[in-house]
Amino acid sequence: MKTSFIKTLPIIFLAICIQPAKSHADNLSLVDHGKISGKVIRLEASNLLFHRGQSELKIPFEEIISLDSNENQKITLSSGEIITGRIAVTEKNWKILTRFGELIINKKEISTSVSAAENSFVKLTETQQNTVAARGDTPSETDKNTSQSTAAKEGAPDSNENNKDEKQEISFLRSQAVLLGENAYELSASASYIRNTSTFGADDRALITTIGLKKNLSSNIEGFINIPVGYAQRSFAIMNGTGTSTFMTNKSFDFGDISAGIKYRLSGQTASRPETTLSLTVQAPTGLSPYSSPQFMNARDSLNPFVYPIGTGHWQTTFGAMAFKTVDPVVLFGGISYTHIFPHTYFGFKMQPGNRIVSYGGFGFVISEKSSLSQQVIAEYSAPYKSNGAELGTSAAPVSLKFSYTHKTSDIGIFEPSLQLGLTKDAANAIFSINYSKRY
């Protein structure tokens, strides 16, 4: 029933899958003793306790070249922080692979660890090591070959599925963070229903559908483009000369403003530092303009108050930065962006919408193998509109609260409804959105 419901939606968006993995041996490479297989018991006092055959080995951290572990450990750092995840070691870095991504740690920060066997067993294979490399690490070819051959011999799950497992947990950040793997791309669609009452009493309703494409360009860079199409109506009352009012409704259907840009992962997440991403977006005035020839004598501007603006009529550039940090069992995230809107002359008036600053912050958490919830507060500030250099009205500072539910529908699909509620008079009353995407 759920599948048939999803197929009836006019929209389609993003993907990742979690598959259970089979248990198998941990692989360890040492400085002078080659490679051995066995089971990680625990970490303590700068030593790894490793079970091999009938023996228990005590191995100093300094002798470890690489390690592929399969069982989650609850690792206590010297700061007192406890992190649950699988241990991965390469010649360059020690990492903890958590449900929400990977944490680069200093091995000297590790105090102790205990097994967390109740968690899922997931094999670290070649594709995951490539993901590690994409975040600034460089595993050796020997490590890659060992991991690949062990997975093949012991029936480990496909490496692409393991990589999806890690990304699924933070898929609610897919529009802000860099999550695509090497050479991957996504086709997406979304629909948003907007309900609002404008400042001069008009009743606004709009349905905006956006088709998007996102592509991995390099290990830390994604490119994207979004093409919106919208239907909108604005209803309002006009006073006539007899003192009565006439109720009118204007409807419009057109393209919105097309936007494109890039996201760059500036740094990966570590035990003490969040993952950070920078973004640049350019928006072109391809949509229905909110301007028309002035309909009143002594007009101060060319804004058309009788039509809901699907487009802005202006070129825009947006610079953004965001960060997220795993604090098990939640992911904390936040960001800020600045949008510069370029002025343009319409019907003899040089129109200049106010530049805009947007900030947001929130958290997300996993509620099941397939689902997660996230919440965030979004605060904006827009400078006053200007016509021929004169300000029209005042600045705006809308604040809203957004709730999202992210659900894995298949091995390549994610379905996400969200509801955004306005908390101030400047914000839209409500925006309900549905998103679906597929990764290829």
Domain ranges of the chain: 26-157, 167-439
* Exposure class string for 39-70: b at 16+ Cβ within 10 A, else e: bbbebeeebbbbeeeeeebebeeeebbbbbbb
Cα dihedral 288→294→299→303 (10° resolution): -10
Q: Which residue has the tokens 């609610």?
A: 172
pLDDT at 298: 61
pLDDT at 117: 55
pTM beyond 0.85, yes or no? no
The distance of Cα 72 from the centroid of its chain, to the nearest Å, equals 25
Half-sphere exposure of 49 (CA within 13 A, CB side): 11
- Average pLDDT estimate for 228-253: 83
Q: Strands 399-408, 413-422: parallel, antiparallel or unpaired by DSSP?
A: antiparallel
pLDDT at 266: 94
* Exposure class string for 255-285: b at 16+ Cβ within 10 A, else e: ebbbbebbbebeebbbbeebbbbebebebeb
167-439 folds as: Lipocalin (2.40.128)
Question: In this predicted model, which residue has the larger pLDDT, 51 or 243?
Answer: 51
Distance (Å) of CA 67 to CA 89, 399, 439: 5, 47, 30
Q: What percent of the chain has pLDDT over 70?
A: 79
Distance (Å) of CA 422 to CA 379, 399, 427: 10, 6, 5
Residues whose CB is less than 8 angstroms from the CB of residue 341 and which lie 6 or more positions away in sequence, other chains included:
312, 314, 315, 316, 352, 353, 354, 355, 356
- Over residues 389-404, the pLDDT tens digits come to 888 888 999 999 999 9
Give bridge partners of residue 193 from the DSSP assignment: 207, 432
Residue 27 sits at the vertex; the CA angle it makes with 22 and 31, to the nearest 5 degrees, is 170
- Average pLDDT estimate for 129-157: 40
Question: In this predicted model, which residue has the larger pLDDT, 435 or 93?
Answer: 435
Half-sphere exposure of 181 (CA within 13 A, CB side): 21
Q: Which of 309, 268, 316 is nearest to 291 (CA)?
A: 309
Question: One-letter amino acid identity for 402?
Answer: K
**Could you give the CA distance from residue 431 to residue 425 in angstroms, rounded to a whole number?**
14
- Over residues 195-218, the pLDDT tens digits come to 988 766 788 899 999 999 999 998
Distance (Å) of CA 142 to CA 35, 107, 133, 203, 231: 10, 22, 14, 65, 57
pLDDT at 319: 98
